[in-house]
Amino acid sequence: MKKIHTVLILLFLTGIMQAQDRPQPKPGTSPVVNIKKPQTFVLANGMKVLVVENHKLPRVSFNLSLDNAPFTEGNKKGVDELTSSLIGNGTKKTTKQAFNEEIDFYGANINFTSSGAYASSLSKYSGRVLELLAEGALQPNFTQTEFDKEKAKLSEGLKAEEKSVPAIANRVVDVLVFGKNHPAGEYISEETLKNVTLADVQANYATYFVPENAYLVIIGDVKFKETKAAVEKLFGGWKKQAAPKTTYPNPTDVSKLQIDFVDVPNAVQSEISLVNTVNLKMSDPDFFAAVIANQILGGDFNSYLNMNLREQHAWTYGASSSIGTGKYTTKFKASSAVRNAVTDSAVAEFVKEIKRIRTEKVSEDVLKNVKAGYIGRFVMQVEKPQTVARYALNIETEKLPADFYEKYIQTINNVTADDIYRVANKYFPVDNMRIVIVGKGSEVISGLEKLQIPIFYFDKYGNPVEKPVTKKEAPAGITAKTVFDNYIKAIGGEKAVLAVKTLAMTGTTTIPQAPSPLSFTSKLDSNGKMMVSLNMGSMPLMKQVVNEKGAYVEQQGQRKNLEGDDLAEMKASATPFEELRLSKRTDLKVDAIEPINGHDAYSIKDGKTVYYYDVQSGLKVAKLKVKEQSGQSTTQTTYFNDYKEVKGVKVPFNIIQNAGFELDIKMSDIKINEGVSAADFL
């Protein structure tokens, strides 16, 4: 099967992603912020209500929040997730369709989760919208039909994430930092999901959706007296009940800096996370200094980490850090996704920058700019109803002083370079961090070993394993020609393959930031012609063509004719089955046996290209290409899956391209010797 090029798709996506990361202008002098205090009352069942009247706009928002302690679900992890999915799918009084149609009629927004609900609408509809919120939250109708549907969706989501390197990284980070028996460390799996029943969801709702720690924050064009009466009527019958409170041992950090490595053979980038536990409440004296220290290290575009890994070295789209705050143990995390080839170098730079903020006092100019930017964002958000609601809730749940947000700007401005130095040494303990790396072991382990940091190995669920065997020698007698011939035999035999004169493929895929799926088309002619296109509806995003005159690429109306190596590469791939050509070469050899998606595969190098063929089936499973662009090396990997027979020849109906993002192309139709004309290659 021919290689599908991604050059223009990469350029298209790179433009989208980089646009999001551009530094923002430095904010000017911050105005004085006045945050209106809520009027409050408490229902007999324990629910506390906070009302902030704001008559500037004819809108109102309702935010119901249950401030329960975290809990574990054990071998039924997924109960709470399914509870969230099912609340709001109709009530005991109203069908799902009728409920949603009424919300749409009012032009309102309403959402439910297992820990609360949110709604917003024009104030003239606020009375009815509050009634619907109360009905949806307090009278959910959990049916077997909706349960089965939501459980199937969750299961499909788990399968989709099975090979996702970022998803694996997030899971393993939490497992290793908190432990599998901690609320923040356990994860949903196919095994735990299978154990969950509708009765479990109903019991979860009855146990935890209770009013003792419930807060209802109402912001907008309402009158307190009328609102109080409505809330008492709608929520007064909510039965008084307390949620269980379970305590868990605080997780501890490792005694020495270490690398925790997870081998994912299909990874084209390494997900790097430096993590440690944090106990930082918003009421702590260190709170503001710690969040500003994090901004300096990795929270801002101009942070130490981003300026180093992205701007100076161009190893990544972005490097960042975050520090968790709240009543319970959270984590500090500095992270980035980098190319395999620079994984070890990136780790060294991460450690260097964390040590830098712990040993060098931040300059007054940097500190001033970071504080100004942080204050500017605070001021921009403070007028939004959701922000006001969150602040009011924080004061209650975090036990903050009533004037916490009035003094917010002043307290930030009081943070000094000495404060940054002190909290960096307290909350960024580089000698007690885990460096969790999820990547392709065959390409990165040798470099990591040179860092002389102890390395421990884990599977994609955080279980300890032995160091992976990344490459094995091919048995004697296995040659490149043997592998290519076996591939041709596996897909139907030389006679059937030679009979393929044209190949037409159509399918769909998605890309980040695109509002809808994209249509994919590929057409090939055995005489060396090719056309590949990607469209968003009727709008063409890119097109690549090879014909007897040459080759060109076209993106959003801009055309570029290819020359030199680019032209040669495009021409070489303009064939339905390149193995017919490769099998005639005598300069290629089997390099090794490597794991690809859990199966052994022969690897054959051809310059900067590597082909992978499954040892058992003989089918081509992957193709890797190293490309040089603007002085930087990038790796593009294409995976071939779901082979099906079409007119006696097996072709892959699923092609996944990965070059820092994943392009998962699912074919809806493949035609052999039909559906292709000369006009396709003009």
Q: What is the pLDDT of residue 382?
A: 84
| Tens-place pLDDT, residues 523-578 | 999 999 999 999 998 889 899 999 999 999 998 789 999 999 889 888 988 999 99
| Tens-place pLDDT, residues 383-420 | 788 888 999 999 999 999 999 999 999 999 999 999 99
Per-position DSSP letters for 504-564, written without gaps between them: EEEEEE--TT-SS-EEEEEEEETTTEEEEEEEETTEEEEEEEEETTEEEEEETTEEEE--H
Name 196's Cβ contacts closer than 8 Å, sequence gap at least 6: 76, 78, 79, 82, 151
pLDDT classification of 162: cutoffs 50, 70, 90:
confident
| Tens-place pLDDT, residues 336-358 | 999 888 999 999 999 999 999 99
> What 3-state DSSP class applies to 273?
strand
Question: Does 28 have pLDDT greater than 60?
Answer: no
| Tens-place pLDDT, residues 122-132 | 999 999 999 99
| Tens-place pLDDT, residues 467-491 | 998 888 999 999 999 999 999 999 9
Name 305's Cβ contacts closer than 8 Å, sequence gap at least 6: 297, 298, 319, 320, 321, 334, 336, 350, 353
Q: What is the largest CA-CA distance in the chain?
A: 88
Written as six digits, the tokens of 144 are 């077997």
Q: What is the pLDDT of residue 633?
A: 64
Q: Which amino acid is at 124?
A: K
Beta pairing, strands 662-672 & 649-658: antiparallel
Q: What is the pLDDT of residue 661?
A: 63
Please compute the mean of the pLDDT values over residues 224-242 and round it to a whole number. 97
Beta bridge partners of 592: 603
d(CA 364, CA 325) in angstroms, rounded, equals 26
| Tens-place pLDDT, residues 643-652 | 999 999 999 9
Closest alpha carbon to 12 in 562, 486, 504, 557: 557
Q: What is the pLDDT of residue 548?
A: 93
Q: What would the 3-class secondary structure string for 595-644 be?
A: EECCEEEEEEEECCEEEEEECCCCCEEEEEEEEEECCEEEEEEEEEEEEE
| Tens-place pLDDT, residues 427-464 | 999 999 999 999 999 889 999 999 999 999 999 999 99
Question: Does 512 have pLDDT greater than 60?
Answer: yes
Q: How many CB atoms lie within 10 A of CB 228?
A: 18
Classify burial at 271, counting beta carbons within 10 Å of its beta carbon; exposed 0-12, middle 13-18, buried 19 or more. buried
The residue behind tokens 């097996």 is 650
d(CA 523, CA 169) in angstroms, rounded, equals 37
| Tens-place pLDDT, residues 32-86 | 677 888 999 999 999 999 999 999 999 999 999 999 999 999 999 999 999 999 9
d(CA 357, CA 293) in angstroms, rounded, equals 8
| Spacing of C-alpha 664 from chain mean position | 15
Question: Does 15 have pLDDT greater than 60?
Answer: no
Q: What is the pLDDT of residue 18?
A: 39
Q: What is the pLDDT of residue 267?
A: 83
Please compute the mean of the pLDDT values over residues 311-320 and round it to a whole number. 94
Question: Does 107 have pLDDT greater than 60?
Answer: yes
Q: Assign residue 425 a region: left if phi > 0, alpha if psi is -120 to 50, beta otherwise? A: alpha
Beta pairing, strands 269-278 & 662-672: unpaired
Q: What pTM value is reported for the model?
A: 0.81
Q: Of the given ranges (15-24, 208-217, 328-337), which has the lowest mean pLDDT?
A: 15-24
Question: Does 176 have pLDDT greater than 70?
Answer: yes
Written as six digits, the tokens of 638 are 């294409």
Q: Average pLDDT over the chain, rounded to whole?
A: 91
Element (H, E) at 80: helix 79-86
Q: Is the dihedral of CA 581, 584, 587, 590 positive or negative?
A: positive
d(CA 604, CA 23) in angstroms, rounded, equals 43
Question: 640 — phi, psi (to 5°)?
Answer: -115, 120
Question: Does 201 have pLDDT greater than 90?
Answer: yes
Q: C-alpha angle 46/100/233, rounded to 5°?
A: 30
